[in-house]
Amino acid sequence: MSVTPIFSSSASSQENASAQIAQQTAAAATISGHLFRASITARQMALAAKNSRAMVMRAGSKAAGLKVISDYFDDLADKTITLSSTINQYAVAISQNSVRQWRTITFIDKVRKGQSYLKRAEDTEKAIGQLEPAVDKASIYRVELANKLHSQLKNLKDQLENIHHYMQSSNVVAVTFRLEATQTGEFQPLLEHMAETIDGLTNDIKSHISTSQNQLNVFNIN
* Predicted local distance difference test score (pLDDT) of residue 158: 87
* Predicted local distance difference test score (pLDDT) of residue 12: 61
* Predicted local distance difference test score (pLDDT) of residue 73: 79
* Predicted local distance difference test score (pLDDT) of residue 11: 55
* Predicted local distance difference test score (pLDDT) of residue 204: 93
* Predicted local distance difference test score (pLDDT) of residue 111: 78
Q: Who's near 8: CB < 8 A, 6+ residues apart? A: 14, 17
Q: Who's near 101: CB < 8 A, 6+ residues apart? A: 6, 21, 142, 145, 146, 149
Q: Who's near 172: CB < 8 A, 6+ residues apart? A: none
Other beta carbons within 10 Å of 161: 12
* Predicted local distance difference test score (pLDDT) of residue 5: 43
Per the DSSP assignment, residues forming a β-bridge with 65 are none
* Predicted local distance difference test score (pLDDT) of residue 42: 85
Other beta carbons within 10 Å of 55: 19
User: Which residues in the chain come in under a pLDDT of 50?
Assistant: 1-9
